[in-house]
Amino acid sequence: MVELKKESFKGRDFIALNDFTSEEILHMIDVAARLKSESKAGIPHHILQGKTLGMIFTKSSTRTRVSFEVGIYQLGGYGLFLSDRDIQIGRGEPIQDTARVLSRMVDGIMIRTFSHQEVVDLAKYCDKPVINGLTDYLHPTQILADMLTIKEHKEKIKGLKLVYIGDGNNVANSLLLGGTKVGMDVVIAAPQGYKPVPEIMALAAQNAEASGGSAAVFEDPLTAAEGADILYTDVWASMGQEEEAAVRRKAFAGYQINDTLLKAAKPDAIVLHCLPAHRGEEITEEILEGPQSVVFDEAENRLHAHKAIMSLIM
């Protein structure tokens, strides 16, 4: 059974990686690794026996839903799926009312939605831990799984160069914040109009100064990829941006992880993608299915990372 350092985590919200210290982030990764090891060995870990997680989805999902629902079950608890079609929030009930009602019935809430402010407000009015399963601004649970995957394949995290190619979106934002917290060199390659916002870059710079990492933004993906330990990408048009797809395909032409880009990275570089992938757009079929891709290890690690989060804060 995994032993947890609960004191600094219990009852806290998991909204942004920047809310945690580098030591706390590394501890979460360590807990995730140990929970994964126990799962593979068939060792039960009912850390949350009898606990209930309410799971609010206003954005559909594969990995987030399955990982949290399976994860809370493996921890001995129960996950309650709540789509915006099933609860009153979808009919205009204020988030503060939903928060106060659910607080009296569940032991934790995970929400995956569009507006980041909605998550902040939910946490403000909820007296149980709230987990940010994704917003248009941040995707911190994904990045914890990414870090677990990187540590498994590189045996370390600090000092590695991670290069993200594409839209400066929620994944890029959370990579900048989380990566610089733990001493990584995080580089974003994005075209004009799609770079991370100045607020995120300023926070990443502060983190990097404290951890010994760095944060940078380039327009040329080939220059950015030089000497990379990790190449990472995401779709060019995220959920809710479907009407922009044609414009974005034109803007991101050339921002693709392919053989040319992979050759600019280190010979032993690994490739990440948060999925779902549009093969032939942001990444080629050959790279996604190739020997340097650890994309499906990364997807599996959502389960173990999310179990670590729930175990610690619930």
Local confidence pLDDT in tens for the 314 residues of the chain: 666 776 789 999 999 999 999 999 999 999 999 999 999 999 999 999 999 999 999 998 999 999 999 999 999 999 999 998 888 776 788 999 999 999 999 999 999 999 999 999 999 999 999 999 999 999 999 999 999 999 999 999 999 999 999 999 999 999 999 999 999 999 999 999 999 999 999 999 999 999 999 999 999 999 999 999 999 999 998 877 777 888 999 999 999 999 999 999 999 999 999 999 999 999 999 999 999 999 999 999 999 999 999 999 99
Q: Is 126 a catalytic residue?
A: no
Same domain, 69 and 130: yes
Same domain, 16 and 28: yes
Same domain, 172 and 255: yes
Backbone angles phi, psi at 218, to 5 degrees: -125, 160
Tell me how far the alpha carbon of residue 122 is from its chain's centroid: 19
Same domain, 151 and 265: yes
Same domain, 77 and 94: yes
Which residues participate in the annotated binding site for L-ornithine?
170, 234, 238-239
Same domain, 286 and 149: yes
Same domain, 305 and 252: no
Residue 47 in any domain: the answer is yes
Same domain, 230 and 264: yes
Q: Is the dihedral of CA 31, 37, 39, 45 positive or negative?
A: negative
- Give me the catalytic one of 139, 248, 273, 304: 139
Same domain, 186 and 224: yes
Output the pTM of the full model.
0.96
By C-alpha distance, which of 188, 240, 197 is closest to 218?
Answer: 188
Which residues participate in the annotated binding site for carbamoyl phosphate?
61-64, 88, 112, 139-142, 274-275, 302
Residue 211: domain span: 142-299
Q: Is 229 a catalytic residue?
A: no
Residue 195 in any domain: the answer is yes
- Give me the catalytic one of 116, 234, 248, 256: 234
Q: How many domains does the chain have?
A: 2
Same domain, 25 and 69: yes
Residue 159 in any domain: the answer is yes
Which residues participate in the annotated binding site?
61-64, 88, 112, 139-142, 170, 234, 238-239, 274-275, 302
Same domain, 174 and 293: yes
Compute the distance between CA of residue 238 and CA of residue 229 in angstroms, rounded to an integer: 25
Task: Extract the tokens encoding 101.
Answer: 């009602």
Residue 240 in any domain: the answer is yes
Which CATH number characterizes residue 293's domain? 3.40.50.1370
Same domain, 119 and 160: no
